[in-house]
């Protein structure tokens, strides 16, 4: 009978916990204080506002405030001192509630029996509270008809803590960083770029092609998409400027080598060739500024539900996407777009390629650096690999040009490669850096770029500091 009664009490306790009431929330705060490892994990998804009781919010702020200030987790003795010294800002009722809570805390054993249950349900509690918080926010967004932002807010709330990974253990996971398959890079189709990028663009990475209008951004993105397709990947190509049939025809030409002007006459030959390809290609057209990153994610989710394993995403091109939320400055909107594109790469664990327009300085430049990027320069900070295509008037007459590696997280950058652009066959061929002129240009460009990046970064950090000071 005693055992049965105990079992019944345990079940009752669990039933009470399932409502995440006072007992659960006090237990959660106690566990955060007593278990540093758990605290390190939960802090990634935890928000003070999730706690419905003011005295618990005040107490946990003291815990995390101490961690942030001193870089170590406080002990109970430390918290006793802090509680005694830091309660002046609270009213009398709150002070009494905090002292009473800490008295009960001090009287209980550190290894309390409900700890395993709280650990198992803490994430569920945080997710539930986050959804509740998001729903309240959406009430205000409905009034402003910000439906895209509503979708984004709800999706992010639901996906809170969806990853079970708490980080990369430097020692335990030693072997992982030496495994090429961990990144599973997709070749660029250019041996020179593959050799300096550790095999191409990998999972969760964002690549950006910079070029002025008419220089070959869309052509380069088709070339990169073809490499994914021939590698057996499912490639999803979003076109925001060209018709989907036009893009598909360019893939036909690039894969088969049949000139664009002869595609229609070689229908059967093309069909026989593309049937042999293991990869899949899905081309989705959206009118310019009609889609945002939430639109793309919704489409990708539909594909996943239909059984597609997303292997590569092409967005032609990022600057033509609509921002999820309207901001005062256009550059901030563009920055957020590229941050969200990289998030897509991480969510679907695949490489994402896009392009960006240059400003006027890039129109007839022999070599285009990141200094020529249009509008928001800071979007370059989120990209993993950036290359530019530069073509002067003389270059276009000879179907030539240059690719400059502006950024490479996995290897060297500042390199210039001569290219031949066969626009009739949608082919871009690359040569190695062998010429004296190229070597000289590369050296000077690296110096200029390094100084330019330093100046821009200092400016960026200054703005961040000013924003914090005024907020």
Quick check: is 168 in a domain? no
Quick check: is 136 in a domain? no
How many Å apart are CA 407 and CA 208, to the nearest integer? 9
Write down which residue in 109, 127, 145 finishes a domain.
Answer: 127
Task: Kindly provide the b/e burial profile for residues 186-213, where b requires at least 16 CB atoms within 10 angstroms of the residue's own CB.
Answer: bbbbbebbbeebebbbbbbbbbbbbbbe
Quick check: is 145 in a domain? no
Q: Are residues 402 and 257 in the same domain?
A: yes
CATH of the domain at 448: 3.40.50.300
- Blockwise average pLDDT, block size 10, the chain, 471 residues: 35 45 84 82 78 84 83 82 74 79 69 67 79 76 67 66 52 61 86 92 94 89 96 95 92 92 91 91 90 89 91 92 73 81 92 89 75 67 91 87 90 89 88 50 51 65 73 61
Q: Are residues 117 and 195 in the same domain?
A: no
Residues contacting 229, CB < 8 A, separation 6+: 235, 251, 255, 277, 279, 280, 281
Q: Are residues 248 and 344 in the same domain?
A: yes
Write down which residue in 92, 127, 162 finishes a domain.
Answer: 127
Quick check: is 134 in a domain? no
Quick check: is 421 in a domain? yes
- pLDDT of the residue at 16: 40
Q: Are residues 105 and 248 in the same domain?
A: no
Q: Are residues 115 and 219 in the same domain?
A: no
Q: Are residues 183 and 53 in the same domain?
A: no
Q: Are residues 187 and 287 in the same domain?
A: yes
Quick check: is 76 in a domain? yes
Q: Are residues 31 and 113 in the same domain?
A: yes
Write down which residue in 65, 94, 127 finishes a domain.
Answer: 127
CB count, 10 Å around CB of 289? Answer: 12
Quote the domain boundaries for residue 299.
179-470
Q: Are residues 281 and 384 in the same domain?
A: yes
Residue 51, classed as helix, strand or coil, is coil
Tokens of 446: 């690296």
DSSP 117-158: HHHHHHHHHHHHHHHHHHHHHHHHHHHTT-HHHHHHHHHHHH
Q: Are residues 114 and 202 in the same domain?
A: no
Q: Are residues 193 and 69 in the same domain?
A: no
Quick check: is 155 in a domain? no
Query: What pTM, to 2 d.p., does this model score?
Result: 0.61
Q: Are residues 337 and 271 in the same domain?
A: yes
- pLDDT of the residue at 282: 94
Tokens of 29: 């705060």
Quick check: is 4 in a domain? no
How many distinct structural domains can be found in the chain?
A: 2
């Amino acid at each position: 009978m005693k055992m049965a009664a105990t079992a019944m009490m345990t079940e009752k306790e669990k039933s009470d916990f399932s409502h995440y009431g006072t007992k659960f929330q006090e237990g959660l705060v106690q566990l955060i204080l007593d278990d540093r490892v758990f605290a390190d994990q939960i802090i990634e998804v935890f928000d003070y506002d999730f706690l419905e009781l003011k005295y618990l919010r005040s107490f946990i702020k003291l815990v995390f405030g101490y961690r942030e200030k001193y870089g170590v987790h406080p002990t109970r003795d430390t918290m006793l001192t802090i509680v005694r010294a830091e309660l002046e800002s609270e009213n009398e009722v709150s002070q009494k509630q905090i002292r009473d809570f800490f008295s009960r805390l001090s009287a209980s054993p550190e290894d309390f029996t409900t700890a395993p249950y709280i650990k198992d349900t803490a994430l569920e509690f945080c997710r539930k509270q986050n959804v509740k918080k998001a729903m309240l926010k959406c009430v205000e967004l409905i009034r402003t008809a910000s439906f895209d932002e509503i979708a984004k807010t709800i999706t992010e709330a639901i996906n809170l803590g969806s990853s079970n990974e708490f980080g990369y253990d430097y020692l335990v996971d030693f072997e992982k960083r030496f495994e090429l398959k961990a990144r599973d890079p997709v070749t660029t189709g250019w041996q020179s770029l593959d050799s300096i990028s550790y095999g191409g663009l990998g999972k969760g990475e964002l690549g950006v092609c910079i070029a002025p209008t008419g220089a070959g951004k869309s052509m380069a993105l088709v070339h990169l998409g073809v490499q994914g397709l021939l590698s057996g990947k499912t490639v999803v190509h979003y076109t925001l400027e060209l018709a989907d049939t036009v893009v598909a025809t360019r893939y036909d030409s690039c894969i088969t080598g049949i000139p664009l002007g002869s595609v229609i006459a070689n229908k059967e030959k093309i069909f026989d060739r593309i049937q042999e390809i293991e990869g899949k290609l899905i081309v989705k057209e959206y009118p310019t500024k009609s889609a945002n990153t939430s639109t793309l994610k919704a489409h990708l989710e539909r594909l996943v539900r239909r059984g597609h394993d997303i292997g590569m995403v092409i967005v032609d091109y990022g600057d033509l996407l609509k921002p999820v939320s309207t901001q005062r400055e256009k550059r901030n909107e563009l920055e957020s777009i590229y941050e969200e594109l990289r998030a897509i790469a991480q969510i679907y664990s695949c490489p994402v390629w896009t392009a960006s327009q240059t400003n006027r300085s890039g129109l007839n430049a022999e070599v285009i650096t990141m200094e020529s990027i249009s509008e928001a320069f800071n979007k370059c900070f989120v990209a993993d690999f950036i290359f530019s295509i530069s073509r002067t008037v003389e270059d276009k007459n000879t179907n030539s040009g240059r690719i400059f590696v502006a950024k490479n997280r996995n290897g060297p950058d500042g390199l210039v490669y001569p290219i031949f652009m066969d626009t009739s066959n949608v082919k871009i061929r690359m040569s190695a850096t062998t010429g004296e002129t190229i070597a000289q240009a590369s050296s000077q460009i690296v110096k200029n770029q390094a100084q330019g990046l330093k100046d821009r970064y200092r400016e960026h950090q200054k703005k961040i500091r000013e924003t914090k000071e005024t907020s």
